Amino acid sequence: MRYVGVSNFTGWQLTKALFVSELQGFERFASLQPQYSLVERNIEREVLPACREEGVGVTPWGPLGGGFLSGKYRRGEEPPQGSRIAGAPDEFEEAWTKRNVERNWRTLDVVDEISEETGKSYAQISLNWLLMQEGVTAPIIGARRLEQLEDNLGAAGWQLSDEQVARLSEASAIEDVYPYRFIREMQRV
């Protein structure tokens, strides 16, 4: 049996495609591949809720933010030569201009603290957080070397504590914007 999937859709595009599939009797999308990590969480606004609601599997690409969450990048320093981020043009998702922002450095600070507490690598912590997000089926890891693959696989078989997940989620939280903020505020009235 084969399944149909899609990558990089918005919530409305996915929902519309599922509606058209149902209306026309077409095979529906079974999975979505969005970018999702501690440094890119915007799918939480609509894409991830749409996937959960519609039973669409989520297999995130870029779960380590193009390597930013691997532990090799330092605040105030240029990215290491030969790294994915160092070679990424500004229009790429992994571009240094997109990763070198204060929110991401705050996130890495918390990853570092949890690494000290658990003895786990930055990559293992970042992947474990992702695996614990409701609706995520499995991340697509992009290891370039065997030791990276082995380290990434060490994200399975254990879990961050609820308190650690909360710290990571708070440090990496996306900006609260309209209309989501407005809707939430009006529901409290």
pLDDT tens, residue by residue, 109-118: 999 999 999 9
- pLDDT score for 188: 87
Average pLDDT (77-82) is 91
Of 62, 42, 59, which Cα lies nearest the Cα of 6? 59
| The model's pTM | 0.93
Grade residue 34 by pLDDT with cuts at 50, 70 and 90: very high
Q: Which of 10-19, 43-52, 86-95, 109-118 has the lowest mean pLDDT?
A: 86-95
Domain boundaries, the chain: 4-188
The Cα 123–Cα 139 span in angstroms is 12
Residue labelled with tokens 């499995």: 138
Type of residue numbered 152: N
Q: What is the DSSP letter of 39?
A: T
Q: Can the peptide bond before residue 179 be classed as cis, meaning omega within 30 degrees of 0? A: yes
pLDDT greater than 90 at residue 142 = no
pLDDT greater than 90 at residue 37 = yes
Rg (CA), the chain: 18
pLDDT greater than 80 at residue 187 = yes
Average pLDDT (126-147) is 94
pLDDT greater than 90 at residue 1 = no
Sheet strands side by side (includes 29-33):
4-7, 29-33, 57-58
Are 50 and 11 in contact, with CB atoms under 8 Å apart?
yes
- Where does 4-188 sit in CATH, by number? 3.20.20.100
Q: Mean pLDDT over all residues of the chain?
A: 95
